[in-house]
Chains A and B, each alone.
Chain A
Amino acid sequence: MSETIIDQVTQGEYKYGFTTDIETDIIPIGLSEEVVRLISAKKKEPEWMLEFRLKAFRHWLTMEMPTWAHLDIPKIDYQSIAYYAAPRKNAPKSLDEVDPELLKTFEKLGIPLHERMALSGIAVDAVMDSVSVKTTFKESLSELGIIFCSFSEAVEHHPDLVQKYMSSVVPYTDNFFATLNCAVFSDGSFVYIPKGVRCPMELSTYFRINAMNTGQFERTLIIADEDSYVSYLEGCTAPMRDENQLHAAIVEIVAMKNASVKYSTVQNWYPGDKEGKGGIYNFVTKRGICKGDSSKISWTQVETGSAITWKYPSCILLGDNSSAEFYSVAVTNHHQQADTGTKMLHIGKNTRSHILSKGISAGKSQNSYRGLVKVNPAAENARNFSQCDSLLLGDKCGAHTFPYMEVNNDTAVVEHEATTSKINEDQIFYCNQRGISTEDAVGLIVNGYAKEVLNQLPMEFAVEAQKLLQITLEGSVG
């Protein structure tokens, strides 16, 4: 019985695998100062932006790719990647002008742009490959003073904000992939919520890698000014590919006094086929800073895709009384590998952080949680609670936990709990007894296991996330 279930799991093919035929404007593969200048020129960037890119690029040349993660990464040839791709046609002004092929792609993805606009009221800044194609609901947001646009537009129209906050959370020297991103980033999203504004809708962006051999280097910057609130959603699906693709994005969040930012992501990059061939490498640097007092940042992530996931959405708790949350479900199947978790740096007084991580490994996958909780000497009354659980489905997979706790203040209370186990046979038996097939029972249990995190997602996303869990562990395991 269990073997057939495992078979069914392993036969779950990637539902969203297809390629859209759109001409893309690709510059030759390889990375050099020339290429960095070319990207900047193509995007008609101001001088300071080019300077920033070059500074990062020069620093990148002195760095080496880190190897400490619990991951088996094939050697990446950074000279065989094309660093820029944009749909060739000029940015359309209305929906009618959008390439019909593109619209169809979104249709297949289940994100009909107009439907979303009309029904759910979500502003979708759809990113196809690297250049932003369509931004909706901009007008209604701009009435409130909210800026929600592509990163290049922000560079053009709000250079002061970009210059002030870009790289203030993730410096260009931060790590190998962040530095690479700083040098060659193509586009991304920019959000600014002014003082005292509560963003009336969920802001959302869909990323999608589309051109062959194109690294995706997104950059997102979210700034929540005093007393503001925003909930930002990001979701990714990518078409089937045989060659590995590198994705090295940066997400920066700045929360000022009393501001609250909720960042949710459902990540479904193409994980490779069941032999472990192909798939996306997702090496993302995500970091937020609770800059002002009583600010709050919340990360929620559902990871189902990518051949290799390597990311730690982190929080710097600088303001007094600030708080941070991290909720994560990471599912790995087949030959997927994940080394993910979070970092919480307590600097301000009375700062609180909560970490809840649920790992599910199946097939031949390796799933690791790695998290750091650091309390600085000045962080009086810091409080942290971390829980990371792992569920093993099958005897060829691995689940690992590497929590780090570094406490330099005696008033801090830091707690960590972790468990690793497989699905309890009694529970399955109980379900069987009541006429629920083993397959459904496993699905039920896995969904229940992840519920605490899924509950944190906005409604529309929660549905999609649940579906994704199902697809990833197709057929049987929910």
Chain B
Amino acid sequence: MEQQYIDLYKEHHESIKKHSAEVMNELRDNSFAQFEKLRFPTVMLENYKYSDLKTPLAIDYGLNINRIPIPVNPYDVFKCDVPGINSYLFFVVNDAFYPVNEPRNKKLPKGVIIGSINEVASSHPELLKDYYGKLSKTKNDGLVAFNGAFAQDGFFMYVPKNVVLDKPIQLVNIMRSDVNFMANSHNLIILEEGAKAQFLICDHTVDDVNFLSNRVTEVFVGENATYEHYKLENTHTKTTNLSTLLIDQRASSNVTANVITLHNGITRNTIEIDLDGEHCETLLCGMVIGDKNQQVDNFTSIIHNKPNCNSRELFKYVLDDLSKGGFTGKLYVAKDAQKTSAFQTNRNILLNKTAKMRTKPQLEIYADDVKCSHGATIGQLDETAKFYMQSRGISESEARLLLMFAFTNDVIENIRIPALQDRIKLLVEKRLRGELSKCEGCVICQ
């Protein structure tokens, strides 16, 4: 399985390098050597116990090594903009930044840089030099190493010191291809001291072919900075989404990350948050609504390296049909991270006999003055609550819906962009009602 990619790299690494920035190439050979050693992760690895990637990785994908532009107008294929959201809008098609002429983007505050890694490599090489690969290169992970070897571009965002973005940055990631396609991208987001930004990334697929997206996103949140990250996945069942989100938090920073999977094929989210300064606040949330034979595995890890930090984690799953859910919540408190408080909750509802849920909280604590807890439940809807509603004339299906809606609501409540919150409420409701949750523009998702 890996061999074809190893051969591909050996044969074509010159052209891979030719079409990407110097800063990416610097780490490329190293990443490749690492991948040769690690290979693709299998369920035998403790961290991938609940992600069986054998089937999707066995598919023969095409790679766009020579960066041939794909003819697409994102406005044609993408219509399900979150209505009412007032954002700065950007597009990425497959793994290439798509330059659009959005009038609203002209009002970006001064000093904010948004573009592709390749563009920024020529305009602001010093920024990339300091940050690119800083978090990913030490990860001992086959997928990250593979990304390092094959990624040729990615999204870049820089918010300078004390700049507050008035509107969210919205990045729409569209997968478009006529043949089975694999995209590797490496995104970089930097918030300087005191900066503030909201970032929303939506994943969409257009064509009825197999897609595999292997994305690594590195986020650096400076002192006193506030960063909100929302990931909304609404792709079709032939999509494999492998995403690694690495966040580094400095002192007194505040990070909210929200990962929502509404419709997908196979998803593996690795989220790793390092708290590298005192008084950090972290809120990590996630929600999955799965049916058919969808698979979602969220592997999260919050690492408390410094004292006096707070973290909260909340993940909720509703699983139906043959869907499979996986959750790992690693919580690591280093020796000196005293006065840590860390709470984790994972609740899951199985709607039928064939749905499967695997959950594995994991607390590793080396400091003594801490407050840490986690709770995990797998169960069904509350029968008495359902009965209560039925006895008051609410139909059974409606009662079920209400309960499920209430169940997911506390994740949705943590979304701090009102328009997005409304939109997700609507999507969830449609999804739970079994109506088509596809976006209007999507051709095949059903």
Residues of A within 8 A of B (CB): 68, 70, 377, 390, 392-422
Which applies to chain A's interface (DSSP): helix, strand, loop or mixed? strand
Taken together as a complex, chains A and B put the C-alpha atoms of A377 and B322 apart, in Å, by 12
The interface size of chain B toward A, counting residues with CB under 8 Å, comes to: 35
If A392-B368, A410-B351 touch, whether A420 touches B378 (CB-CB below 8 Å) is no
Does B380 lie within 8 Å of A392, measured CB to CB? no
Stretch of B172-180, B354-362, B409-417 with 4 or more beta carbons under 8 angstroms from chain A:
B354-362
A413 touches B379 (CB 8 A): yes
Contact A417 B378 (CB under 8 A): no
Closest to B351 in A: A410
Partner among B355, B368, B372 whose Cβ is within 8 Å of the Cβ of A393: B368
Return the contact of A398 from the options B354, B364, B374 (Cβ within 8 A).
B364
Contacting pair A413 B361 (CB below 8 A): no
Shortest Cβ distance from B344 into A: residue: A418
The 6 closest A-B pairs by CB, nearest first: A410-B350, A392-B368, A401-B363, A413-B379, A416-B376, A419-B373
Pick the contact of B361: A392, A403, A412 (CB < 8 A). A403
In the assembly, what is the distance between CA of A422 and CA of B352, in Å? 41
Task: Evaluate contact between A404 and B360: CB separation under 8 angstroms.
Answer: yes
B245 to chain A minimum Cβ distance, whole angstroms, is 23
CB closest chain-B residue, reference A411: B380
Residue with the greatest number of chain B CB neighbours at <10 A, chosen from A377, A394, A395, A407? A407
- Cβ B363 vs Cβ A410 within 8 A: no
Q: Is the Cβ of A377 less than 8 Å from the Cβ of B353?
A: yes
User: Given contacts A410-B350, A421-B371, are A405 and B378 in contact (CB under 8 A)?
Assistant: yes
Q: How far is the CB of A3 from chain B (nearest CB, A)?
A: 14
B7 at the binding interface (Cβ < 8 Å):
no
- 29 A/B residue pairs, CB under 8 Å, sorted by A: A68-B46, A392-B365, A392-B367, A395-B368, A395-B369, A396-B335, A400-B364, A402-B362, A402-B363, A405-B359, A407-B357, A408-B356, A409-B350, A409-B353, A410-B353, A410-B355, A411-B380, A412-B378, A413-B377, A415-B378, A416-B359, A416-B375, A416-B376, A418-B361, A419-B371, A419-B372, A420-B372, A422-B368, A422-B369
Q: In the complex, what's the smallest C-beta–C-beta distance from A411 to chain B, in angstroms?
A: 7
In Å, the complex CA distance between A455 and B110 comes to: 68
A421 touches B360 (CB 8 A): no
Is residue B187 contacting chain A, with contact meaning CB distance below 8 A?
no
- B249 beta carbon closer than 8 Å to chain A: no
Alpha-carbon gap, A465 to B379, bound state (A)? 36
In angstroms, Cα B353 to Cα A408, docked, is 7
Q: Do residues B366 and A398 form an inter-chain contact, with CB atoms below 8 A?
A: yes
> In the bound complex, how far is the Cα of B44 from the Cα of A68, in angstroms?
11
Contact B372 A421 (CB under 8 A): yes
The chain B residue with its CB closest to the CB of A425 is: B369
Beyond A407-B378, A414-B379, 17 additional pairs, beta carbon < 8 A: A68-B46, A390-B363, A392-B367, A395-B335, A397-B368, A399-B365, A400-B362, A400-B365, A403-B376, A404-B360, A407-B358, A411-B380, A415-B376, A416-B361, A417-B374, A418-B373, A420-B373
Q: How far is the CA of A22 from the CA of B272 in the complex (A)?
A: 58
**Would you call B338 an interface residue if the criterion is a C-beta within 8 Å of the partner chain's C-beta atoms?**
yes
In contact, A401 and B378 (Cβ under 8 angstroms): no
Q: Given A70, A395, A406, A413, which contacts B367 in the complex, CB threshold below 8 Å?
A: A395
Tell me if B370 is interfacial: C-beta within 8 Å of chain A.
Answer: yes
Nearest-neighbour CB distance to chain B for A221, whole angstroms, equals 32
Q: In the assembled complex, how far is the CB of residue B432 from the closest CB belonging to chain A, in whole angstroms?
A: 16
Can you name the residue of chain A whose Cβ is closest to the Cβ of B49?
A404
Say yes or no: A410 contacts B352, CB within 8 Å: yes
B368 contacts A410, C-beta separation under 8 Å: no
Contacts of A400 in B (CB 8 A): 362-365
Contacts of B373 in A (CB 8 A): 417-420
What is the distance, in angstroms, from A375's C-beta to the closest C-beta of chain B?
Answer: 8
Question: Is there an interface contact between A407 and B365, defined as CB atoms closer than 8 Å?
Answer: no
Q: Shortest Cβ distance from A354 into chain B, in angstroms?
A: 15
CA distance A119 to B351 in the complex (A): 57
Cα distance A336–B367 in the bound complex, in angstroms: 17
Check B378 against A413 for contact (C-beta < 8 Å).
Answer: yes
Q: B residues within 8 A CB of A396?
A: 335
Q: Which residues on A sit within 8 Å (CB–CB) of B358?
A: 404-407
Contact B353 A421 (CB under 8 A): no
List of A residues within 8 angstroms of B367 by Cβ? 392, 395
Q: How far is the CA of A120 from the CA of B166 in the complex (A)?
A: 78
Distance between Cα atoms of A420 and B348 in the complex (Å): 23
Most buried by B among A393, A410, A412, A414: A410
Closest to A385 in B: B377
CB distance from A142 to the nearest CB of B (A): 47
Contacts of A405 in B (CB 8 A): 357-360, 376, 378
Q: Are the C-beta atoms of A410 and B364 separated by less than 8 Å?
A: no
Chain A residues contacting B357 (CB-CB under 8 Å) are 405-407
- Complex: how many Å from CA A128 to CA B146? 57
Q: Are the C-beta atoms of A416 and B368 separated by less than 8 Å?
A: no
8 Å CB contact of B380 from A390, A397, A413: A413
Q: Which chain A positions have C-beta within 8 A of B379?
A: 412-415
- Residues on A with beta carbons closer than 8 Å to the beta carbon of B372: 419-421
Closest to A373 in B: B378
Report the Cα distance A416→B362, complex, angstroms: 12
Interface centre among B356, B365, B370 (most CB of A within 10 A): B365
How far, in whole Å, are A407 and B324 apart by their CA atoms in the complex?
A: 10
Q: CA of A352 to CA of B388 in the docked complex: distance in angstroms? A: 27
Q: Is A401 a contact partner of B377 (Cβ separation < 8 A)? A: no
Quick check: A414 and B378 within 8 Å, CB to CB?
Answer: yes
Bitwise, B322-339 to A at CB < 8 A (1) or not (0) is: 000000000000010010
Closest to A378 in B: B353
Distance to closest chain A CB from B442 (angstroms): 30
Of B352, B355, B374, B380, the contact of A418 (CB 8 Å cutoff):
B374
Task: Report the nearest B residue to A419, measured CB to CB.
Answer: B373
Q: Which residues of B contact A421 (CB under 8 A)?
A: 370-372
Given the known interface contacts A405-B360, A416-B361, A416-B376, the answer about A392 and B353 at a Cβ–Cβ threshold of 8 Å is no
Chain B residues with CB under 8 A of A422: 368-370
- B 117-160 binary contact with A (CB < 8 Å = 1; else 0): 00000000000000000000000000000000000000000000
B365 surroundings in chain A (CB, below 8 A): 390, 392, 398-400, 420
- B46: chain A residues at CB < 8 Å are 68
Chain B residues near A402: list those with CB within 8 A. Answer: 360-363
Cα of A321 to Cα of B360 in the assembled complex, Å: 26
Q: Within residues 80 to 125 of chain B, which ones have a CB less than 8 A from any CB in chain A? A: none
List chain B residues, Cβ under 8 A from A390: 363, 365
Across the interface, which residues of A come within 8 angstroms of B376, CB to CB? 403, 405, 414-416
For A374, the closest partner residue in chain B by CB is B358
Bound state CA distance, A416 and B358, in angstroms? 13
Q: Verify B368–A407 contact, CB threshold 8 A.
A: no
